[in-house]
Structure 1
Amino acid sequence: MKALHFGAGNIGRGFIGKLLADSGMQVIFADVNDSVIDLLKSRRSYGVKIVGDSINTVERVTQVTGVNSKDETAIITLFNEVDLVTTAVGPNVLKIVASTFAKALEARIAGGNTKPLNIIACENMVRGTSFLKEQVFTHLNPDYKDKVEQLIGFVDSAVDRIVPPVKPDAEDPLLVTVEEFSEWIVDQTQFKGAIPDIKGMELTDSLMAFVERKLFTLNTGHAVTSYYGKFKGYKFVKESIEDESVKAFVKSVMQESGAVLIKRYGFDPQAHAAYIEKILKRFANPYLVDDVDRVGREPLRKLSYNDRLIKPLRGTIEYGLPNDNLIRAIATALSYRNENDPQALELAKSLAEAGVTQTIKKYTELQDENVIARIAKAYETL
């Protein structure tokens, strides 16, 4: 089998691309980074360093090559040849690649290819593949829409693996470091044709439970560790979480967001408490040096209505659950400053010019005046 994977960065190579290759697939990475693509084409392999309490080893990924994703002719040709398309490009880039996807799907169908094809966006967002599908359909010729619906599966997924940036290795510049833990859960109801047998890919018919478990726990906790750690003067996630006051606060936030999950999806409270402890342990992984500014970047996106801070807060409001720590966490995110992050600069400008109340309303889209006032007060206290 052959897979076309968009995104040859650390996550693409260290997580999804590795799982596909480990399952016996030939993996073609598509990316705009010519140096990375040239290395993939010439070396046909790369190393993945896996680190954790019980492992510290380098595994080789083979059967790989690359193509420049701006080469539409090549991409269109590959769409007609591959058995699976995956992405790990970031939410904003999905909009950019959608037009090429549309042209490639039209060409595949026009050429008489009636074999089902599945597309999985492995992004750090809720229902990322459904979002990609919406973008593709805005570019799609109406004459092809029925056939695309019939033959092309747009499969949503939830992905979880910490892959921090590391200094390139001179001898193996494609080497990427990843944590031992990984989780890739896909919505089995959205596949067209046979579901591929991929090592490490878990099937579910209740994807949103796992999407929100990851969003409300890993993503929420990671962001809060970053914002509170930065507030206390730390540079790295690991040293932030080693501060007992930071760890206690992050844990209390995840307990509040976890109460929403338990109420909404019926998660076992003891099992979820163990999941929270596992997340905290992952943040403290001594082999992963992750900058708080990398994790905290794009604060406006992280403060948006359906993201890792506001969505769990909305859940506590919906179910009448405690949320004092989530309120404080949101206030801490509002205090994030980073001169190299356009969103952090925009946030600071809005706070200075429009004030905290209007800034909260604008970027979070919250309507509850009492909740907004509580966040504003917590921010002013900070």
Structure 2
Amino acid sequence: MNRIVVFGAGSVGRGFIGQIFAEAGWRVTFVDLESRLVQALNTGSYRHVTLSDEGVEETTITGVDAIDGRDTAAVASAVASADFLATSVGAANLRHIAPTMAEGLRLRISERRGPVDILLAENLHGVGGEMRSLLADALGDDADAVLAQVGTLETSIGRMIPVPNEQRREHEPGWVAVEPYRELPLDVAASRAPLPDVPELVGRTDVPFAFYSDRKLYLHNLGHCLTAYLGELLGEDEIAEAIRRPQIHRIVQTVMATAAAALSLEYGEPLASVQANADDLLRRFHNRALHDTVERVGRDPQRKLAEGDRFLGALALAARHGLARPITVAVAVGADKLLGSVPADQRDSELDRIRSVVAHHGGEDQLAVFDEALSALRTSPDLERLALLLDP
């Protein structure tokens, strides 16, 4: 039986990677630091629940085990003998797992076990290069020889997985709930070994992987976050209730359609295909069973309003294709949230920063749209006025 070693047994590790590989007949070995979770997974199975408005589907994922990440010798041995590797630890934690992974890879190459790929289920653009750099530092003089046989495959994690509450984690550490969506695009061009026969893995050679990472950021993440910020303005607590508000739905739908058109033009992907993904996302945002909160989706607005991230990155993309206006309105919504979250003495500098980016990509015309949209959100949010700004 083939075996995958997954660093990180959290929501994505158990809820997505572990599920699709186990259901494809693979043995799944998790590496984690949470002792109770490791103990629970070493029973050989965990409960996996799929939530939708159509009902609840519960299954038991079997053929799993786990290693405590502090047992570095056991982890390195597992890496050396694995048929495939994956990480879902959070990009900031890759530096902590790189040394042990490097030892396992060094051992693997010394035993002539052949090339291996690492599936990077991390929310970071360019994480493939980051992982290679961390491994190279840990491998030292062996870096070139080892990494020549190691692929670092970026992914686009689109499945929405609600975080279980503390009571659930305490009572049943292995339990995880997810939405039905199962597609997992990966950067097949970076592979060094044959791809696993797992139906959910999508590896295309006719479009650069940047299409999928940009689609996730500028379509999924932008639409999701915009829904959260508009929902908060109208007093909604959950994404599913927010997107059901007609005013919010109209604004989010228009912004996402614009992002879809820009992505189609940028990458040559048929518009119908990209728009179908946008429509599916809107449908998925309606999933009440997830109980996904506007607070969770909208947290850390400073990062989300960084240049290149979901708001300002989407603006740059849309502006290159003459489609900036609806995205400019979305940027104003994000800016309103950011300005309300930073200390008073930082608001002017943050506003100046965002206005500068808007002017750079859209000129004075888009700056005027931004200022008017921001004005519509001050004091008493006027979403009707905001919606009117979407059209020229």
Q: TM-score range by the shorter chain?
A: 0.7 to 0.9
Task: Write the distance in 1 (CA, Å) between the matches of 2:251 and 2:286.
Answer: 15
Q: After superposing the two structures, state which structure 1 stretch, 351-360 or 325-334, moved more.
A: 351-360
User: Is the contact made by 2:237 and 2:294 (CA closer than 8 Å) also made in structure 1?
Assistant: yes
1:88-237 mapped onto 2 (5 Å cutoff): 88-109=88-109, 111-141=110-140, 143-167=141-165, 168=168, 172-205=172-205, 206=207, 207-237=209-239
1:1-24 per-position Cα deviation (integer Å, ceiling 9, x unaligned): 111111211221111111111111
Between stretches 199-208 and 167-176, larger displacement belongs to: 167-176
Distance (Å, rounded) in 2 between the aligned partners of 1:360 and 1:381: 16
Query: Take 1:336 and 1:200, find their aligned partners in 2: how far apart are those partners?
Result: 36
8 Å Cα contact 1:55/1:180 also seen in 2:
no
| TM-score w.r.t. length of structure 2 | 0.85
Aligned positions, number: 370
Q: Deviations over 1:5-59 (max 9, x none)?
A: 1121122111111111111111111122222112112x21111111235552101
Matching of residue 351 in structure 1 with residue 341 in structure 2: no
Which digits, 9 at most, give the CA deviation of each residue in 1:91-144, with x for residues without a partner?
A: 2222333333334333433x3334111101012333433332233224330x21
The answer to whether the 8 Å contact 1:241/1:283 transfers is: yes
Contact 1:350 1:359 (C-alpha < 8 Å) held by counterparts: no
Q: How far, CA to CA, are the matches of 2:90 and 2:158 in structure 1?
A: 14
Deviation by residue 1:343-367 (Cα, 9 ceiling, x = unmatched): x95x445633635113666xx7984
Residues in 1 aligned to 2:53 and 2:376: alpha-carbon distance in whole angstroms: 39
Identity over aligned residues, as a percent? Answer: 26
1:260 is displaced (CA, Å) by: 0.7
Structure 1: where are the runs of 5+ without partners?
Answer: 339-343
Paired amino acid for 1:15 = F
Residue 45 (str. 1) matches residue 40 (str. 2) = no
Are residue 6 (structure 1) and residue 4 (structure 2) matched?
no
Q: Which stretch of structure 1 is more off in the superposition, 25-34 or 297-306?
A: 297-306
One-letter amino acid of the counterpart of residue 284, structure 1: H
Residue equivalent to 2:266: 264
Superposed CA offset, 1:287-341 (max 9, x none): 11001111112222222233222222101221222x2222222222233369xxx
TM-fit CA distance, 1:374: 5.3
Superposed, 1:246-261 pairs within 5 Å as 246-261=248-263
Q: CA RMSD in A?
A: 2.6
Checking the alignment, whether the CA contact within 8 Å between 2:136 and 2:147 is kept in structure 1 is no
Change (3 A) 1:296 1:355: closer
User: What's the secondary structure of 2:81's corresponding residue?
Assistant: coil
Matches within 5 A, 1:342-381: 347-348=342-343, 351-352=346-347, 354-358=349-353, 367-368=360-361, 370=364, 375=370, 378-381=373-376
Which whole-Å CA distance do the structure 1 matches of 2:359 and 2:97 have between them?
31
TM-score under structure 1 normalisation? 0.87
Moved more, 74-83 or 263-272: 263-272
Distance 2:359 2:137 in 1: 29
Given candidates 311, 320, 323, the residue that maps to 2:313 is: 311
Q: Secondary structure at the match of 1:196?
A: coil
Amino acid at match of 1:56: V
Q: Structure 1 residues 250, 95: CA separation in 2 closer, same or farther (over 3 Å shift)?
A: farther
Q: Aligned ranges for residues 6-85 of structure 1 at < 5 Å?
A: 6-41=7-42, 43-52=43-52, 54=54, 56-85=56-85
Conserved? CA contact 1:231–1:336, under 8 Å: no
Unaligned segments of structure 2, at least 5 residues: 378-392
Deviations 1:155-185 (A, max 9, x none): 2222211111234177644221111112101
Structure 1 residue matching 2:307: 3-state secondary structure: coil
- Most deviating of 189-198 and 176-185: 189-198
| Matched residue, 2:380 | none
- 1:341 corresponding residue in structure 2: none
Change (3 A) 1:348 1:102: farther
Structure 1 distance, partners of 2:338, 2:240, is 20
CA distance in 2: counterparts of 1:130 and 1:73, whole angstroms:
26
